[in-house]
Structure 1
Amino acid sequence: MGLVAAMTSTITGTITGTITGTVAGVARRTLVARTGGVDLTRLDRVPRSLSWPLRREGAAPSARLSAMREAGPVQRLVTVLGLEVWLVTGDAELREVLADGASYSTDIRPYVGRSGGSDGDIGGLGFTDPPDHTRLRRLLTPEFTVRRLQRVQPMIEEICRGRLDEVAAAATAGDGVVDLVPTYAFPVPFLVICELLGMPHDQRETFARLATQRFDVGGGGAGTLGAIGGSRRFLLDEVARQRRDPGPGLIGQILREHGDEVTDVELGGLADGVMTGGLETSASMLALGTARLLEDRALWQRLAEDAAVAGPVVDELLRLLSVVQVAFPRFARRDVVVGGVRVPRGAVVMCSLPAANHDPRAGYAADLDLARATRSHLAFGHGVHRCIGAELARMELVTALPALARRFPDLDLDVAPGDLRHRQRSIVFGLERLPVRPRGARHVV
């Protein structure tokens, strides 16, 4: 959510920074020194004391997380082998932390050994501080302006049309039940990212497999780092290939315009951020958003018939669902006071985006409230690490959800909403499956 590192980061700005990402990949060399040789990457699972904030009740933040926010929006979560982990859950307090680049660092490169990247350097925006962050972000920013994004709108529409044809075909070929996760929610943002990056067709299957392995923390530190390392190596190889023969997409364009200014590791990290922020996040939003809308038939019908409602609906879904569970971890450079609470130097500060986006002190409702829809929510993060591809992510959703409603106005869930299986302990919240019955298809988009 993000990336949410948020295509985009958390949609680039929104994501491998997480409660678990921190514990699994943080400070390998530093933690080994601090803790007498303990290597957290060898943990076979993430401790409950760290993973419980990722749990949800349905699609909503857990009652425990909400109670923690009400009791005190800045609290020490746990100490792991001498490393203090703090959790921030309030809207105002998150904005305070995420906007303060002087008091916090997101750069974990000094702590990560070879398992985390190339000689301890992982590249990318989310784990980089200014001035490197400023220089690297400047390479991507031109591609995510509203003017540039207008060029990709027809491509997104074409992808949606093609995938809706596949959904209709799958319903006809089988028993009428289609899982929207692999047929629509995942392929739409995946194909957009492939086109955006200029990914060769013969590499896309490998790219898809690697992309889906990195967000589930059930395998502990080794599993998380292994999945991240695998996707990063794939992208580093692709950058090296395109440095010799630049392709038509984002990677090739940056190499043509700034080839001498960016290393393979840096550009691989930027491409990794686009994948990280823009694929699983948008796929989860499409699936979860569809499920939520199908619980309100009047709103589903309105979405199919009124183009003007799509923006507010998407903005409220982004806030309500907040699929990016936590922002990039912040490392306190010094003692700092947040919301009246002193956080000590060296602490890891985790910011819960779902908790903040449900904070009643900020005027947020517990359910969809189109009359109060806003684009100033925290689903894409905040500050210099706010998702650089937020506009692209929103464009995808504003296109894909109404297209689905127009094509299948009588779409129904094939299970009760309470029986939908959500991914547990995942950095990016989502659904395992979304079985639907696409009845009453109309051949329009």
Structure 2
Amino acid sequence: MIPQEIIRRKRDGDELDAAEISSFIAALAAGQLSEGQIGAFAMAVWFKGMSRTETVALTLAMADSGDRLQWADVDRPIADKHSTGGVGDNVSLMLAPIAAACGLAVPMISGRGLGHTGGTLDKLESIPGYMITPDADLFHKVVKEAGCAIIGQTGTLAPADGRLYAVRDVTATVDSIPLITASILSKKLAAGLETLVLDVKVGNGAFMADRGQAEILAQSLVEVANGAGVKTSALITDMNQPLADCAGNAVEMRNCLDFLAGRKADTRLETVVLAFAAEMLVKSGIAASSDEAEGMARRALSSGKAAEVFARMVSMLGGPADLIENPDRYLARAPVAKPVPAARSGWLAACDTRGIGVSVIDLGGGRRHPADRIDHRVGFSELLPLGTRVNAGEPIALVHAADDAAAERAVAALAAHYRITEEKPELTPVIAGLI
């Protein structure tokens, strides 16, 4: 294999065959390519694109660059869900135990915050003792015995993706549909999944603000995943406002516990969680229809079974066994809490969702640099949904901050992120489509 010939062919718009792609990715994983060669390949793909056949080959090659998890001794369908990222998006925390309580095995490999979006791993790290990188044997044991485990990517799982992404990040090639597709799906294939459901966000708080681009990405992910042998579908969901009524780490973990206890019913968040649970159960053959599947998910919540699964997962991964019963003992609270008053009377008509995510980072709840330490206590809670009628001075949210100065800045910033109108707004549905 001559790397520069493969780069040249892709630069010229030729279609690469599976052997060429496989050999290039194997060399990348083995450290045999320079950063210049990797960057040139990524840029050639960015400009010339890839066919579905090429993208499947790239995804499989990246999945095969490290270990592949095996679940032969687990007598449940192996399923997972992936989100393209949003603000107040803590769906995974509740979805995994609900799906497990309904009979699925969910080996969920999640990530940290990226840009303005929150990360599932950062939220879990607000739980004292929780191990986000257990060894392979413990991960397997938790999935088998508890039904689900939410952890971070190990260095042996799709390692080619890690090196390729690092180069893409500094060469302006992150936003390539084939490269995004292969990056997301290679880790999921390496996890040994049988079925996968994707949450492709669209709106001013999503990486894909345009509906058309979100559909193109969703179509690519679904076609490539199915082409690689994993039964996959995607829901396109709205991210023009935070999904939950909070944004942060410990505050979203509290939201998760409230949801599992039945205190977050009839919300946009519940609609999304139950829709994904139903899609996972139908895709995996556990339920015959979406109505049957949603009923199963609701019973898993109302019976407390989903909460029991979550508690067992947390305990087996090193967290406190009584987290659900005693959250205040373990989830730290910020020392300062200040309400955000509505600037005027009217209807909450729109918000800058990305700006809200950035404001969490400004509070210390996210990273400006990879080495930054997160303050898990800070963030926003009690965010009122769009379409709510408010009076001037009425709280539209609560800021959780490390000190008074940070709280005052966050109050001003959050108030500025919302638009209040005299007319009641027409809101877009939280689930925009299914692919």
- The normalised TM-score by structure 1 is 0.28
Which TM-score applies when normalising by structure 2?
A: 0.28
User: Which is helix-richer, 1 or 2?
Assistant: 1
Max radius of gyration: which structure?
2
Give 1 or 2: higher strand fraction. Answer: 2
Higher relative CO (Cα under 8 Å, sequence separation at least 6) belongs to 1
